[in-house]
Structure 1
Amino acid sequence: MKRHLGLVCFVGALLLLISIGCTSTPSPSDGGSKEESTPQLPQLVEGDVTQFVNPFIATGGAGFAVGSAHPGPNAPFGLVKVSPDTADKEGINFSHCAGYAYTDEYIVGFSHIHLYGTGVPDYGNLLFMPVASPIASDILSTKVQRSSYKKESEVAQTGYYKVHLDKPNTTVELTASTRTAYHRYTFKDKNTPHNVLIRLDHALPGGNVRDGHIHITSDKTFEGWLHSDGAMSKPGGGFMLYFVAKSKTPFQATTWKDDKIQLKELEQKGPKVGAFLTFPKDQTTVELQVGISMTGLAQAKQNLDKEGNNWDFEAQRQNTKQAWQDLLSRVRIAGGSQDQKTMFYTSLYHSYQMPTILSDTDGSYTGFDKKQHKAQGFTYYTDFSMWDTYRTLHPLLVLLLPKHQNDMVRSLLAMAKEGGYLPRWPLATGYTGTMVGASADIVIADTYIKGVRDFDAEAAYKAMTFLAMNPTPPGAKYGGRRDIEHYASKGYVQANKHSGAASVTMEFAYNDFAIAQMAKAMGKTKDVETYMKRSENYKHVWDDKMKFFRAKNADGTWFNDEFKDTVWTKDYVEGTAWQYLFFVPHDMDGLSTLFGGKDALLKRLDEFFELSFNEYEARERKLGLKKYYWHGNEPDLHVATMYILLGKPSLGQKWVRWIMDTRYENSPKGLAGNDDAGTLSAWYAFNAMGLYPIPGRDLYLITSPIFTRTQMTIEGKTIEIHALGASDKTKYVKKAWLNGKELPNLWLKHTELLKDGNVLRLELSDTP
């Protein structure tokens, strides 16, 4: 996207747009107006919208601006995310949480499972790599195994990846279905060996394969399993990964163990095992299909049998592309630049990477009790980065893919039933305890109050309130709510016992608000009062003298004597005092009172964004931590939209556009930080359409759309947003009409928006 650093364009005259309205004339009681004529609407993009997806966005960046995306193919929410793992010249793969960095010179191999957009690495297991040298133990050295490649040979599209490896002079092509990977290797040199290295010991940094087993079952098939744990999955005992693979053509197999070649053995077991597959030199094209499961070998074979095909790589590539087309085309847009269209559809693409489908084709999955279960009537998901995703991603899924979101909630409830507790950050088949708060409360409540309710609400409510009321045992893997006794009795988490206590207290208050909203929707009146009172506990960590939230000790004294408002301290979780200053999304009135009134809060918001703008312009600490607004992290993602609730929408629209223009671009360094499982992408998708959620409330704020027309198709309903004239300059929404009736404020309810045939018409201007 073209970057615009100016904040406000005071150029041009006020542009009054023509009403669109509905086809019937509103009555005087509507309070709205209807134009006599309807202008011709902009033409929506037609046909293939996957052409606007650039999987290389967010695969680059440096320092804290690493996007952590992978360019390899996968089906929507697919378990298989087969993608290159890379390293630099020195063999270092720092910040390769998804295995890949755009600027790296070498490809180490192609592993089958990856996380998307995270700030901590895990997965990167079961690596394949074509090699064109004689079988020898030195190949098992990463620096020998790896190959350089030319960037111009690299292609990434929805459902397809291609690259040419220099050293083996081999072109690699990949595609994938939900649980099966498809490899096609074309060896260019007939005079060199055509070998494929299989490594069961490979994992991303921080990962460790504890055990593994590979068995060559015929001259065309092999299978096995591995037990791995990574930086996040280790607390939950790691995970088992099973695979069954087949080749289109016969091969000769050689196994290896502990870096030693085992010429006569067809089976190996241990933490460092694998194989070489050798193909005839006149066999220039090699095709492999690999079925994956975290349940068992039988399920991996079943997944391969049901998702594999008759060796038609191109057909599978098109099938996966069509699966993406089916989801992405549910939103069609008009207007905007080519880069903005690309950012939008890539944002949707990245929003549909995680959570990950874990259940097999027959519904089997390994539960958090490490036993086999079956998902009856739903798809079971894992890999929920909820401290991040509750803010934007899950609200986007509630809006655009409610059935998927419903299954995700059912998956969380299955984890609670089988593991005993709702998770914080579930990965693979276990708890990680990563991050803070009880974000599942917000995810579940937000889903329920917006009418997506095909799950056991009573079981959900019981699981939510159990963690809210009961202490977490020491060393518990599920995380829970730490120091909940003190929080419940005194209103805050003790800083002398727990790091990040100010942030955790504020998260708990928001969690309690979500429970209160769930209780209200379920008719639990008494509980509403209890949890609404607790939702005000953020006030207990407000320092009225300093006008910041601060961590507090058990005796009521402030934790940090030398208070610093622009550096990360133990008061907060991944943020500064400024970045947490406005983290009360659920209670704008209460926050205003702390500041001394709405005007005082607005003044502080103005100061925050002016400081943020100056920091950005000066490029201070470009690769490091930010002092003020930091779009590369989560706590202040909502802050620009606060202006709308406070009655100053033009300021909110100004800063939302500034963020969109300066923190997103159509390039490998296209995000301001880790996408965190689609959190930043979902933020862009919402605001590009002109909407923004308040998780836990049935509201969308109207921000500043960049498209002149947006059409959403949601479970048979068609909803349109018309913002005629929207452009880089014309970004200020003056008025809004829903079906011809003027809205009193620039927000509306989910239930109001989500009616078939609805038209939300926005009047925009190029002046505030």
Structure 2
Amino acid sequence: MPSKQSLLSLSLLFFLHPTTGTPSDLRYVNPLIGSTAGGNVFAGASLPYGLAKPVADVDGQNTGGFSTDGSNVTGFSSLHDSGTGGNPSMGNFPLFPQHCPSDEINGCRFGKDARKKHYKPESVVAEPGYFGIELVDGIRAEMTASRRTAIYRFTFPPHEEKGEDPVISIDLTDLWESRQNASIEIDAEKGRVKGNGTFLPSFGAGSYQTYFCADFSGAGVKDGGIWVNDRAGSEPKELFVTRGFNNFYIQAGGWMSFLRPDDGTITARVGVSFISTEQACSNAESEVSDPISGFEKSQEQAKQAWSQKLSPIKITPGGVSDDMLGAFWSGVYRTMLSPQDMTGENPLWESDEPYFDSFYCLWDAFRAQHPFLTIIDPHQQSRMVRSLLDTYRHEGWLPDCRMSLCKGWTQGGSNADVVIADAYVKNLTGINWELAYKAMVNDAENEPLEWSYEGRGGLQSWKKLNYIPYLDFDWMGFGTNSRSISRTVEYAYNDYCLGVVGEGIGEDGYTTYLSRSGNWRNLFREDQPSFLENGTNTGFTGFFQPRYLNGTWGFQDPIACSALASWCSLTSNPSETFESSVWEYLFYVPHDLSSLIDLVGGTDSFVNRLDYFHTSGLADIGNEPVFLTVYEYHYAGRPALSTKRAHSYIPRTFNATTNGLPGNDDSGAMGSFLAWSMMGLFPNPGQSVYLISPPFFEAVEVTHPETGKTATIRNVNFDPDYKRVYVQSAKLNGMPYKRNWVGHEFFTQGWTLELTLGEVEGEWGTKRGICHLV
């Protein structure tokens, strides 16, 4: 808490050094950043946390729907996730505009491969709330979105260039053709098409059903009907289709033909729902009463919504390039595309609590995205935590991953526990903490039958042996019997988070979980060396290793599953670490890094390991477990090296180009890492800790949306060429400050941090123990 004297100093500081932050101008947001080279971002139109997400779908890198890889457009659909890997997610019921030669409906092409068209790369326009593109045949598609309604404008070339009248088809499919069954109904007189389908989630178990209601305006309807396997007819007007004989995928859907309007533009309003077609129609009618005039109105409302969400942050650039500003603001923007607010659209249970979907996945998002939302949108972050707890209340388990109403595969621990603990230590309001603690205890104490998509596995061994064994004998539940190292270190931190919440709310037994949080030590083998594939000794000894039930050691090469070796996931080369190496997981002891530093030989040895990890090619900056390692130099009293490491990745691998992300954005995880790094504070989630590193701008202000207080981080001697990036001294609220971290009260109480910069590493924040936080 600042003293009266420091508050007076703060007032004088504002008087002497006023900050004129630029507004969070949407012109800097570029949704196409990361739209190729594996970034897999959603580049289309959406409201913050919106369900309706229209964009062009392509046959190339289509995980997010659209990619700037020059591939073919296969349709325009209204449901998407952002930044995911693996199978494409959703992309249900794509529309496709075309002309039929000689106005013969069977001259059209309906199947995905038959109808696809290249797009003109220079025609692509992507802005918050708007996406536009032109196909090589001259048809232009524009789209915007309300909460649960997508609006499309298809403009066909002048009649003299194309003598045929326009046709728009609807395909009963999704991006990865997972449809199990579907139905469609065409009402040509009303210009309305309704339908639904059952599909598979892209990274989970079960199936989901979704519904649409499409209304066409701006042109007279000539006719309508159905199509099956690229043949079409005006009768019948309804169709039900299954997966097909022997799983042969039947392509099918509906179509409408139109009298070409004078301006060539036909508008399609598509309501979506997970409840019913009637609710899909109701969503569309209530949100966009007039589809034609509603396009510009919805587009403007989307801009205003995004502007409001970005408004807590103000930047004083200090000469930084527009590209750097674009990378930053676009990263902030992507943190609020998902998860999606589906309150009122959950058919699985009735509740007055919020329901969010597309936690895809918490293993990725807990590290930076959810802590970021905690400072810029705490109300929605609180509602997300309540949604997680409501899922526990009705399904028995906190999700670690969830999409399309389905349980997603668990990648590591029960990391909803970390999200809840982070909310607790940062005093988010409106959350039932007794229920939260009960849900977390359930993760720690009870093993589900199917722990591949909920809870934790191996709990008998966890409690008895204090580690997850290699080739565990686990007869109580079933899952992918791998990842014994990564599960051990994640379970340890999950239990630490449980202990923190338990202690905070006065629950007995919390010490059990704080004790279990030290289980990571039981897999540390102090004599384990590490060699490169060519046999070169890395020079470091002491790594985590797998252990059998009887306590003897197994072996996993410390460089396996790294960027220098083969990829390891749940199904591709499953290993004892998940998507990262033993090298990387060695650094995942976020609650007791001081003990880890001692275990590996002290600060110099720890720093040398971090340097080797980040410079040898072992580190994969495109995957989330690496995030905290960039800033762990702070714990060794070398914060300048964290700054150096952040600048080695930004803007080299994080920048404003279409390939400006080093890996999947993972629902905003990469965007939040970039935003935190450029703002000059980095979280250790589950703890009230932000590690200080100079912002990439002259100054950053964050106004807390609930307290109204403005936190400021200001660089003195700022250099936009980034030659002076090392902190020489710091002041907090005008008083000298020697710690290299601040707590969450920095944001809620609106403190000011002033960093004086130089070209070489200074003494600030270098005392051992200055970041010993537990």
Q: Shorter-normalised TM-score: what interval?
A: 0.7 to 0.9
Determine the C-alpha separation between the residues in 2 that align with 1:26 and 1:691. 22
Query: Any conservation in 2 of the 1:131–1:195 contact (CA below 8 Å)?
Result: yes
Deviations 1:494-520 (A, max 9, x none): 222421211111111111111111112
Letter matched to residue 199 of structure 2: S
Instruction: Specify which of 246, 258, 275 is matched with residue 254 of structure 2.
Output: 275
Identical pairs, percent: 29
1:575 aligns with 2:580: yes
Q: Which residue of 2 aligns with 1:132?
A: 99
Per-residue CA shift, 1:206-228, capped at 9, x if unaligned?
Answer: x4111111112343222121111
- Residues 10, 752 of structure 2: 8 Å contact kept: no
2:764 maps to none
Cα distance change, pair 33–132 in 1 and its aligned pair in 2 (3 A): closer
How far apart are 1:201 and its partner, in Å? 2.8
Residue by residue, what CA displacement relative to the aligned partner does 1:80-120 show, whole Å, maximum 9, x if unpaired? 11111112xxxxx3x53212221133111111111111112
> Which residue identity lines up with residue 433 of structure 1 in the other structure?
W
Distance 1:476 1:302 in 2: 38
Q: What's the CA shift for 1:490?
A: 0.6
Residue type of the alignment partner of 1:631: I
In the TM superposition, 1:29-178 aligns within 5 A as 39-46=16-23, 49-61=25-37, 66-87=38-59, 93=60, 95-120=61-86, 121-133=88-100, 134-136=104-106, 139-167=109-137, 169-178=138-147
Greater shift, 35-44 or 247-256, is seen at 35-44
Q: Secondary structure at the match of 1:208?
A: coil
Tell me how far 1:138 sits from its aligned partner: 6.4
Alignment pair present for 1:215 and 2:185: yes
**Whole-Å separation in 2 of the counterparts to 1:34 and 1:462:** 45
2:699 matches 1:720:
no
Q: Distance in 1 between matches of 2:630 and 2:515?
A: 27
Residue 504 of structure 1: aligned partner: 487
Deviations 1:18-42 (A, max 9, x none): xxxx997549xx9x99988954435
Spell out the pairing of 1:327-726 with structure 2 (5 A cutoff).
Answer: 327-335=309-317, 336-359=320-343, 363-367=344-348, 371=349, 373-376=350-353, 378=354, 380-473=356-449, 475=450, 478-497=453-472, 498-524=481-507, 526-546=508-528, 547-560=542-555, 564=559, 567-568=565-566, 570-611=575-616, 615=617, 628-715=618-705, 716-726=708-718
In 1, distance between residues paired with 2:198 and 2:501?
Answer: 39
The secondary structure found in structure 2 opposite 1:78 is: coil
Call closer, same or farther: CA 1:600–1:428 in 2, change over 3 Å: same
Structure 2 distance, partners of 1:690, 1:172, is 40
What secondary structure, in the 3-state scheme, does the structure 1 residue paired with 2:64 have? Answer: coil
| C-alpha distance in structure 1 between counterparts of 2:679 and 2:455, whole Å | 36
CA contact (8 A) 1:365 1:375 kept: no
1:566-609 deviations in Å (ceiling 9; x for gaps): 53561210012222221111111221232133333223223323
Work out the CA distance in 2 between the residues paired with 1:34 and 1:274.
66
Structure 1 residues 194 and 745, CA gap change in structure 2 (3 angstroms): farther
CA separation of 1:492/1:291 partners in 2, compared to 1, >3 Å: closer, same or farther?
same
Aligned length: 704
Letter in 2 for 1:674: N
Deviations 1:676-728 (A, max 9, x none): 11111101111111000011101111112111111212222322221233331
> What amino acid does structure 2 have at the position aligned with 1:179?
R
Deviation at residue 563 of structure 1 after TM alignment: 5.9
TM-score between the two structures when normalised by the length of structure 1: 0.88
- Contact 1:33–1:742 (CA under 8 A) maintained in structure 2: no
* 1:732 paired to 2:713: no
SS at match of 1:545: strand
Return the alpha-carbon distance in structure 1 between the equivalents of residues 672 and 716 of structure 2.
23
CA shift in 2, pair 1:150/1:36, >3 Å: closer
Q: 1:400: Cα distance to partner?
A: 1.0
Which amino acid letter does the alignment assign opposite residue 93 of structure 2?
Answer: L
Give the letter for the 1:78 counterpart: G
* Larger relative contact order (Cα-Cα within 8 Å, sequence gap ≥ 6): 1
CA, structure 1 residues 753+638, in 2 after alignment: closer, same or farther (shift >3 Å)?
A: same
Report the TM-score when normalising by structure 2: 0.87
Paired AA for residue 390 in structure 1:
F
Residue pairs, 1:230-379, within 5 angstroms: 230-233=201-204, 235=205, 237-249=206-218, 250-251=220-221, 252-271=223-242, 272-283=251-262, 284-310=264-290, 311-312=292-293, 313-335=295-317, 336-359=320-343, 363-367=344-348, 371=349, 373-376=350-353, 378=354
User: Helix, strand or coil: the match of 2:749?
Assistant: coil
**Which letter maps to 1:333?**
I
The alpha-carbon deviation at position 186 of structure 1 amounts to: 0.7
Please provide the CA RMSD for this pair: 2.3
- Partner Cα separation in structure 1 for residue 117 and residue 25 of structure 2: 34
Q: Secondary structure at the match of 1:136?
A: helix
- Select 1:753's aligned residue among 743, 747, 751: 747
* SS of residue paired to 1:678: helix
Structure 2: unaligned runs, 5 residues or longer: 243-250, 473-480, 529-541, 569-574, 762-774
1:23 to 1:599, Cα distance in 2 relative to 1, 3 A: closer
Q: Is the 8 A contact 1:705 1:726 kept in 2?
A: no
Residues 307-352 of structure 1 show CA distances to partners (whole Å, capped at 9, x for unaligned) of 1132221121111111111111221101122111101110011111
Secondary structure at 1:583 match in 2: coil
- Asked if the contact 2:110/2:227 (under 8 Å) is kept, the reply is no
Q: Please tell me whether the aligned partners of residues 294 and 365 of structure 1 are also in contact (alpha carbons under 8 angstroms).
A: yes
Deviations 1:109-132 (A, max 9, x none): 111111111112221111011011
Describe the SS at the equivalent of 1:635: helix
Q: Deviations over 1:646-705 (max 9, x none)?
A: 211111111112122321111110000011111111011111110000111011111121
8 Å Cα contact 2:13-2:734 kept in structure 1 = no
Kept in 2, the 8 Å contact 1:559–1:571? The answer is: no
Residues 195 and 276 in structure 1, CA contact (< 8 A), matched pair in contact too? no
CA displacement at 1:477 relative to structure 2: 6.1
1:78–1:353 CA contact under 8 A, matched in 2: yes
Amino acid of the structure 2 residue aligned with 1:209: R
Q: CA deviation at 1:259?
A: 4.1
Query: Residue 476 and residue 638 in structure 1: after superposition, are their counterparts in 2 closer, same or farther (change >3 A)?
Result: closer
Q: Is the Cα contact below 8 Å between 2:167 and 2:256 reproduced in 1? A: yes
More off after superposition, 451-460 vs 251-260: 251-260
